[in-house]
C-alpha cells in the first residue's frame, strides 16, 4: 500500500452537528492525510454518514471547521461552501443508497460527473459547435479513460436502472472518478454486495488509490475489508472519535470491542 504522506489534505476541528435535541456529531476532530486510505467505522447511528455529509456540504455544522488543503497548498473552508464548489475543488463522493439517474445510460451518468468542470453556459450548451464541441470532446476523453479503467465498456450504452445492483455500485464509483477528485468519500461502497462483487469493488478502490493517486475516505461495516484495505482506521461512537490508529491497533483496542459488542452490566465483561 502507499505510505501516507505528511501533508494533511482534509482537517476537521471541533465539528458539532445537531438536529433539534439530537446530537449527531460532538466535537469531532480528525485529519485525512494526503495519500493514505482512511476508513471510518462505528456502530449504526454513530454519525459516520453525517461526517461525509458535512465534508461534502450537504449538512452545515453548527460549530467547528472543515478545511481542505489542495495540492498547491491553498486552504479552503469547506464548512462555508456550497456542495458544487466543494466538488469543484476535488472532493467527490458516493452514497450509501445509490444516487444515479436510473433512466439514463451509463455513459450519460458518467458525463454528468464532469459537469463541475464544464463551461459555456446555457447558450453554449445548446449550440454544439466550435469551442463548445471541443469542450465536449475534451470531457468525453476523460470519461472514456474511466470507462476503460473500470471495465465498463460492455455496459456503456445500458440504462442504469436495468443493471444489477453490484454494477450500479461500480457505475456510481466511476461517476465520482469522472470528477477527477483528490479526495474520494465512499459511503459503504460494499453494502448489499456478494463476496465476488466486494472483491471487485475492493480492487477498484485500491487501484484508484495506488494508480490514480486518489485519497479514499471510506465508511464500511465489513471489518475484513476495512482491515485489509485501510492504512489507518478512525472509530466513531455516539458522534465522538473513540479511537484512531492502524488497523491492528484499532482491532485490539478494548474500547472499540466494547462499542461494537457491548458490555454485560452484571459481569462488566465485553459481551458476545
Which class does domain 1-90+181-272 fall in? Answer: alpha beta
Three-state secondary structure call for residue 125: helix
Question: What grid cell was written down for 195?
Answer: 463476496
* CB 229, CB 206: distance < 8 Å: yes
Tell me the average pLDDT of the chain.
Answer: 88
Domain ranges of the chain: 1-90+181-272, 102-179
pLDDT tens-digit series, residues 162-195: 999 999 999 999 999 999 999 999 999 999 899 9
Spell out the alpha helix ranges (H) of the chain.
48-56, 83-89, 106-112, 121-126, 131-149, 165-178, 195-211, 223-229, 247-251, 254-261
- What is the per-residue pLDDT for 133? 67
Q: 18: which residues sit within 8 A by CB, 6+ positions away?
A: 24, 62
Three-state secondary structure call for residue 32: strand
Look at residues 191, 230, 228, 220 and name the one whose alpha carbon lies nearest to residue 48: 220
- What is the per-residue pLDDT for 140? 87
- What is the per-residue pLDDT for 132? 63
Q: How many CB atoms lie within 10 A of CB 237?
A: 19
Place of cell 476523460: 142
What number of residues does the chain have? 272
β pairing state of 215-219 and 183-187: parallel
Cα(241)–Cα(110) distance, integer angstroms: 35
Instruction: Give the DSSP H or E segment for 79.
Output: none
Looking at per-residue pLDDT, the higher value among 72 and 81 belongs to: 81
Query: Following CA atoms 172, 238, 234, 196 in sequence, which dihedral angle do they give, to the nearest 10 degrees?
Result: -40
Q: What is the pTM of this model?
A: 0.88
Cα(59)–Cα(86) distance, integer angstroms: 12
Residue 150 has pLDDT above 60, yes or no: yes
* CB 31, CB 210: distance < 8 Å: no
pLDDT tens-digit series, residues 187-232: 999 998 999 999 999 999 999 999 999 999 999 988 888 999 999 9
Within 13 Å and on the Cβ side, how many CA atoms surround 104?
A: 13
Cα(159)–Cα(258) distance, integer angstroms: 45
β pairing state of 38-41 and 232-237: parallel
% of residues, the chain, pLDDT over 70 = 87
Amino acid at each position: 500500500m502507499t505510505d501516507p504522506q505528511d501533508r494533511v489534505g482534509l482537517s476537521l476541528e471541533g465539528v458539532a452537528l445537531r438536529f433539534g435535541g439530537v446530537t449527531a456529531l460532538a466535537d469531532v476532530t480528525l485529519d485525512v492525510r494526503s495519500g493514505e486510505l482512511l476508513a471510518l467505522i462505528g456502530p449504526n447511528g454513530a454519525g459516520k454518514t453525517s461526517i461525509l455529509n458535512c465534508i461534502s456540504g450537504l449538512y452545515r455544522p453548527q460549530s467547528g471547521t472543515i478545511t481542505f488543503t489542495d495540492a498547491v497548498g491553498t486552504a479552503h473552508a469547506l464548512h462555508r461552501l456550497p456542495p458544487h464548489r466543494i466538488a469543484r475543488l476535488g472532493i467527490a463522493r458516493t452514497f450509501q443508497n445509490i444516487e444515479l439517474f436510473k433512466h439514463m445510460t451509463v455513459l450519460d451518468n458518467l458525463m454528468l460527473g464532469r459537469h463541475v468542470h464544464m463551461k459555456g453556459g446555457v447558450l453554449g450548451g445548446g449550440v454544439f459547435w466550435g469551442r463548445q464541441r471541443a469542450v465536449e470532446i475534451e470531457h468525453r476523453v476523460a470519461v472514456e479513460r474511466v470507462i476503460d479503467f473500470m471495465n465498463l465498456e460492455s455496459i456503456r450504452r445500458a440504462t442504469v436502472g436495468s443493471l444489477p445492483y453490484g454494477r450500479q455500485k461500480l457505475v456510481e464509483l466511476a461517476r465520482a472518478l469522472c470528477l477527477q477528485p483528490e479526495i474520494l468519500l465512499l459511503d459503504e461502497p460494499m453494502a448489499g454486495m456478494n463476496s465476488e462483487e466486494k472483491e471487485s469493488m475492493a480492487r477498484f478502490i485500491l487501484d484508484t488509490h495506488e494508480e490514480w493517486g486518489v485519497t479514499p475516505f471510506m465508511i464500511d461495516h465489513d471489518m475484513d475489508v476495512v482491515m485489509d484495505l485501510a492504512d489507518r482506521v478512525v472509530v466513531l461512537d455516539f458522534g465522538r472519535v473513540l479511537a484512531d490508529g492502524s488497523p491492528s491497533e484499532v482491532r485490539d483496542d478494548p474500547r472499540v470491542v466494547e462499542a461494537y459488542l457491548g458490555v454485560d452490566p452484571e459481569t462488566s465483561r465485553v459481551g458476545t
